[in-house]
Amino acid sequence: MFIDEAKIRVKAGDGGNGCMAFRREKFVPRGGPSGGDGGKGGDVVMESSECHNTLVHFRFNPEYKAERGRHGEGSNKTGRDGADVVLKVPVGTIVYDDETGEKVFDFSAADQRMIIACGGRGGRGNAQFATSTHQAPRECEPGRPGEEHVYRLELKLLADVGLVGYPNVGKSTLISRISAARPKIADYPFTTLEPNLGVVVVGDAKNEISFVVADIPGLIEGAHTGSGLGTQFLRHIERTRLLVHLVDVSDSSGRPDVVKDVEVILSELASFGAGLETKPMIMVASKMDVAHKDKVAALKRYCKKHKLKLYEISAVTGKGIEELKYAMAKEVDALRRQALQQAEAS
């Protein structure tokens, strides 16, 4: 089960109360105040982990509460601090404040940590209020309450390449040929109901390039408004560096105009926003083993007009698969270098 959204309520631990006590011993006639401070409440901490890939564990357990601090005791004994609660989230999770909609944190790398709810401070015992003129204080403080928040978690997959296109154009078959991923493959639309990730390795040991490919469920006209699987998965290609647009050029697609198919998908990417229409793109003519010549010719003219690279493949026969793999690796490597230069410049 792939869960990419969840809403959770977190409550940090309250601080322990300060103690009011006086030292009373047989041979100490003026013992004085001896009330200890309360312990600090536990924090709620969120940490990114590569061991998790969905938010399903939050969907069925949406409330988390850290331990409160122990109260202070006599003989100047400070209460024990409350234990923290650590919540593990997949890399790529974005945390939003549900009330304000403000982005709180973006877990873009493994082992990042953030306190999302701070525990309350422990109250002071009466020993803290003793002065030279106020030697028997009877004041003590209650513990401060811990923070309480409702957060909305949104998972956006971290992949270098995103495969986009109409349903049943061969995206799942392609990712199964170039990686070890084994998605469901069938001859009906919307076979893919959740994103699939595959790691592709190109080159030898000395010049090896590896990148992650995401197979996004098929898009249709109106996807940006929620048609088909719509916006449920469009956001997963926001973080990709490169888009690979597959176009079915066979007679079995049921759509005679391949140029219209391309323009519909590009329009949906632009309408969704998030800069998807500006990402580098490679065009792929899919199912070349049963291709229609007029469709291939029309797609070539369109790509030449818009200066887009076109690769012809057949995932069934293996034609063009290696050329496409190396083209994707070359493009991803160049984009990584460009991003690194921009990061160093800033």
Round to whole Å and give the CA distance between 260 and 265. 9
H or E, element range at 115: strand 113-117
Domain span at residue 141 reads 1-155
pLDDT at 189: 46
Q: Can you tell me the mean pLDDT for 204-221? A: 75
Whether 1 has a pLDDT exceeding 50, the answer reads: no
103-144 per-position pLDDT tens digit: 999 998 889 999 999 999 999 999 999 998 998 899 999 999
Number of domains in the chain: 2
Round to whole Å and give the CA distance between 285 and 313. 6
Sorted by sequence, the CB contacts under 8 Å of residue 203 that are 6+ apart come out as 209, 329
* CATH number of 195's domain: 3.40.50.300
- Sign, CA dihedral 52-55-59-65, equals positive
Neighbour-count burial for 267-300, b at 16+ CB within 10 Å, e otherwise: ebbeebeeebeebebbbbbbbbeebbeebbebbe
Q: Are residues 6 and 115 in the same domain?
A: yes
Asked whether the whole model's pTM tops 0.75, one would answer no
Tell me the two tokens of residue 308.
């887009």
Q: Are residues 125 and 217 in the same domain?
A: no
* CATH number of 136's domain: 2.70.210.12
Whether 174 has a pLDDT exceeding 50, the answer reads: yes
> Residue 71, Cα to own-chain centre: how many angstroms?
39
Q: Are residues 243 and 323 in the same domain?
A: yes
Q: Are residues 180 and 273 in the same domain?
A: yes
38-72 per-position pLDDT tens digit: 999 999 999 998 888 788 888 888 999 999 999 99
Q: Are residues 145 and 165 in the same domain?
A: no
For residue 7, give the 3-state DSSP assignment: strand
Q: Are residues 305 and 229 in the same domain?
A: yes
pLDDT at 92: 85
259-302 per-position pLDDT tens digit: 888 888 888 888 876 778 888 999 999 988 888 889 999 999 99
Q: Are residues 236 and 334 in the same domain?
A: yes
Whether 253 has a pLDDT exceeding 80, the answer reads: no
* Listed residue (207, 188, 210) closest to 199, CA to CA: 210
Sorted by sequence, the CB contacts under 8 Å of residue 37 that are 6+ apart come out as 16, 18, 19, 72, 78, 79, 122, 123, 124, 125, 128
Where does a domain end: 129, 155, 181? Answer: 155
138-164 per-position pLDDT tens digit: 999 999 999 999 999 988 777 788 888
Q: Are residues 339 and 261 in the same domain?
A: yes
Report the relative pairing of strands 5-11 and 148-155 from DSSP bridges.
antiparallel
Count CB atoms within 10 A of the CB of residue 307: 6
Q: In this prediction, what percent of the chain has a pLDDT beyond 90?
A: 42
Per DSSP, 77 falls in state: B
Q: Are residues 173 and 117 in the same domain?
A: no
Q: Are residues 133 and 108 in the same domain?
A: yes
Maximum CA extent, the chain: 107
| Range from 3-7, 115-119, 208-212 that averages highest in pLDDT | 115-119
Whether 2 has a pLDDT exceeding 70, the answer reads: no
Round to whole Å and give the CA distance between 19 and 3. 47
Query: Which residue's entry shows tokens 């939050």?
Result: 58
